[in-house]
């Protein structure tokens, strides 16, 4: 099965990229393996407890993607800087208690591995 | 071997993107052919003599030197437009005219823009 | 006869942004380009992106409606923009670019 | 009475900034003279007939109509450059040439750019 | 005493504006009253638990400004969308348990009030 | 004689950004402008911002050092950039702008 990797660098709401990435990933998951790497501000996307009165909950969208089989990973350096810390214990497929289920914090080397295992790559950033 | 072209078109220090692009390029070095392409405002990264201690930020020039094996291309028309053509540039950086710069993008397996 | 593969571009920036201009330059060099316009990329229809030679232009219906942009005759507005784009980049393309 | 000029130079929907500028302008209406200045990519907000339901986003055109007392200026050269001059624009929006647009900025107590 | 209001729209680290705003506010506090309004992505700045290995902790900087008398407020809509919720109880001068001390979530009307009470306004955004 | 007050600009964007160009246009109209360059704004020294007529240009030392930009003779590099800027906008200016 072919693999698509999506690299994101924006947080939710401020730009449309989290939603566009969701639509791309959802379409791709019907036939392909999908990796999503959350870099820089994109590590805010999986934060629990979002109440976007006027928008669609971005954390929920990405958790849903993980539930459908997408591998969603956040950069450890970017996440740590922004106050999201990995823990040893994995609960609901996540190693960060502030994150939605299914989304984990990993080293930046995971981006490199994702790329080397991919067929196509999409990057979205402001 | 797969190749990845990281496109940086944002100025260093004012944004985390230059630091992010350098780190992403560094971790890919073992597994892929990596090129960091400086384009538009990204070419400011090429200026020699950066000293960011007083800002409390990592010195991006030093990071470039530390990864000497990383191929860094600077888009010449962007340099000229920004008044950087006469400036001393970090010596590990290759100047590329538009044709060579675009060819490097086209011949890479992936292009990732930050 | 072997069908020559195309280059596929996803453009989400409005006209005049440095990324849009880079996208247009690479598309012009391609010889066989398909440009997918999503998000603010659909504003490129106001500045005539569909007139580029050797380029097919696709635009996302929901993004057109939100921004009140009309797609002219030369522009394809697929029923399922994202599925078509994914199919193109995964199966039918030489190189994919996102701007 | 103090006056505030909110400068919006980002396209609507792709970024939250247009929504943010509209909300900020709306809450200031009682206490200050408020102008929302559309400049650069901000002028796309002026196009009539926006329908963002399928994106699941608030309709920014409707918000503009809802605050009819808000003075909205669109920078004409930005409109022309973007191919918007022939388009039907939201009728509550005033076109301003560069001179008038800059004068509105200069005569405001504050200019806030988003 | 004259008043300066600073309006921010970027999160920490991704841009230099949180640090520039800190330097402006610090200089202004020696002689003036300072208000800071955190709008859009800037509501991420006061998040607790930031570990920015290579940068200066932005949350700490802004908490320090609040300690020196700056009024630092975050937009309720933007904060809620991004998962920061106000509570009734005020602990250490903050109504959000995820925020550094001294920084509160308020309605956007507070921005308007800050502006009408100010002498000068600075806005910083990407 | 009454000293005419100046307009004060804080510019943190590099050249050619739409905000920088707007800043330069307003400064050119001012007749008495003082431009403070901080952050990526100091890159404007490479494109001759200090040559604008009726403009004083100030640049932030730490931002110049980080970016390895030299300030020419016509540019003031204060010991305490932010204090000077605050003093100017709070006490000596007709209008302040930040870009």
Where chain E has pLDDT below 70, the residues are none
Percentage of chain B modeled with pLDDT above 90 = 95
Cα distances (angstroms) measured from residue F77 to each of E68, F26, F34, F59, F72: 28, 22, 13, 5, 10
**Residues 68 through 97 of chain D touching chain F, CB cutoff 8 Å:** none
Does the distance separating the beta carbons of A12 and E81 come in below 8 Å? yes
- Please tell me whether residue A107 adopts helix, strand or coil conformation: coil
Report pLDDT digits (tens) over D61-84. Answer: 999 999 989 999 999 999 999 999
Instruction: Provide the 10 A C-beta neighbour count for residue E17.
Output: 26
Nearest-CA distance A23 → chain E (Å): 20
| Residue C3: per-residue pLDDT | 57
| Residue D86: per-residue pLDDT | 82
Does the distance separating the beta carbons of A19 and D15 come in below 8 Å? no
* Rounded-to-10 torsion of CA B97, B99, B103, B105: 60
Average confidence score pLDDT of chain D: 96
Cα angle, residue E101 at apex, residues E98 and E102 outer, rounded to 5°: 120
**pLDDT mean for each 10 residues of chain A (126 residues):** 98 98 98 98 98 96 98 98 97 97 98 97 97
Query: Is D42 an interface residue toward C (CB < 8 Å)?
Result: no
| Residue B86: per-residue pLDDT | 82
Q: In the predicted model, is pLDDT for residue D85 greater than 90?
A: no
Q: How far is CA B32 from the centre of its chain?
A: 17
Instruction: Provide the 10 A C-beta neighbour count for residue A30.
Output: 10
* D100-110 mean pLDDT: 98
| Residue B59: per-residue pLDDT | 98
Chain A interface, best mutation among B30, B110, B113, by max A CB count within 10 A: B110
Q: Which of A23, A57, E29, E32 is nearest to F91 (CA)?
A: E32
Question: H-helix or E-strand containing F96?
Answer: strand F93-98
Beta-carbon contacts of D60 under 8 Å, excluding residues fewer than 6 positions away, are D12, D13, D18, D19, D22, D45, D50, D52
Contact D60, D22 (CB under 8 A): yes
Q: In the predicted model, is pLDDT for residue D33 greater than 60?
A: yes
Distance CA A20, CA A36 (A): 12
| Residue B85: per-residue pLDDT | 85
Provide the β-strand partners of residue A37: A7, A73
Beta-carbon contacts of A13 under 8 Å, excluding residues fewer than 6 positions away, are A52, A55, A58, D16, E40, E78, E81, E82
Cα distances (angstroms) measured from residue C35 to each of C57, C82, E95: 5, 13, 48
Report pLDDT digits (tens) over D8-31. Answer: 999 999 999 999 999 999 999 989
Distance CA D51, CA C66 (A): 4
Contact D110, E121 (CB under 8 A): yes
- ipTM value for the complex: 0.97
Distance CA E69, CA E63 (A): 10
Would you write out chain F's pLDDT as a tens digit for each of its 99 residues? 455 789 999 999 999 999 999 999 999 999 999 999 999 999 999 999 999 999 999 999 999 999 999 999 999 999 999 999 999 999 999 999 999
Residues in chain E whose Cβ is within 8 Å of chain D: 7, 9, 39-40, 77-78, 107-109, 111-113, 115-116, 118, 120-121, 123, 125
| Residue E46: per-residue pLDDT | 98
* B81-85 mean pLDDT: 94
Does the distance separating the beta carbons of F12 and B47 come in below 8 Å? no
């Amino acid at each position: 099965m072919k693999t698509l990797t999506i690299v994101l660098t924006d947080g939710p709401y401020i730009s449309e990229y989290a939603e566009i990435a969701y639509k791309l990933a959802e379409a791709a998951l019907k036939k392909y393996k999908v990796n999503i790497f959350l870099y820089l501000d994109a590590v805010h996307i999986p934060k629990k407890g979002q109440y976007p009165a006027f928008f669609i909950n971005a954390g929920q969208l990405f958790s849903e993607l993980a539930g459908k089989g997408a591998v969603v990973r956040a950069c450890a350096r970017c996440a740590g800087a922004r106050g999201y810390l990995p823990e040893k214990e994995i609960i609901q497929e996540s190693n960060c208690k502030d994150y939605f289920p299914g989304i984990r914090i990993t080293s930046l080397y995971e981006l490199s591995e994702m790329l080397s295992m991919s067929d196509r790559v999409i990057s979205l950033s402001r | 071997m797969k190749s990845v072209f990281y496109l940086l078109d944002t100025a260093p220090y004012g944004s985390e993107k230059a630091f992010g692009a350098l780190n992403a390029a560094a971790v890919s070095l073992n597994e892929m052919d990596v090129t960091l392409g400086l384009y538009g405002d990204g070419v400011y990264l090429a200026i020699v003599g950066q000293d960011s201690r007083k800002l409390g930020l990592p010195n991006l020039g030093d990071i470039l030197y530390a990864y000497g094996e990383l191929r860094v291309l600077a888009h010449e028309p962007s340099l000229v437009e920004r008044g950087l053509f006469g400036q001393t540039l970090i010596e590990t950086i290759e100047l590329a005219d538009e044709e060579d710069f675009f060819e490097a993008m086209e011949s890479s397996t992936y292009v990732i823009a930050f | 006869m072997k069908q020559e593969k195309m280059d596929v571009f996803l453009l989400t920036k409005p006209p005049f942004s440095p990324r849009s201009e880079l996208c247009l330059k690479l598309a012009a060099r391609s010889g066989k380009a398909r440009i997918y316009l999503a998000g603010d990329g659909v504003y490129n229809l106001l500045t005539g992106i569909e007139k580029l030679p050797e380029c097919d232009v696709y635009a996302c219906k929901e993004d057109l409606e939100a921004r009140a942009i009309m797609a002219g005759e030369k522009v394809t507005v697929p029923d399922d923009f994202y599925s078509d784009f994914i199919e193109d980049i995964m199966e039918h393309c030489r190189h994919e670019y996102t701007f």
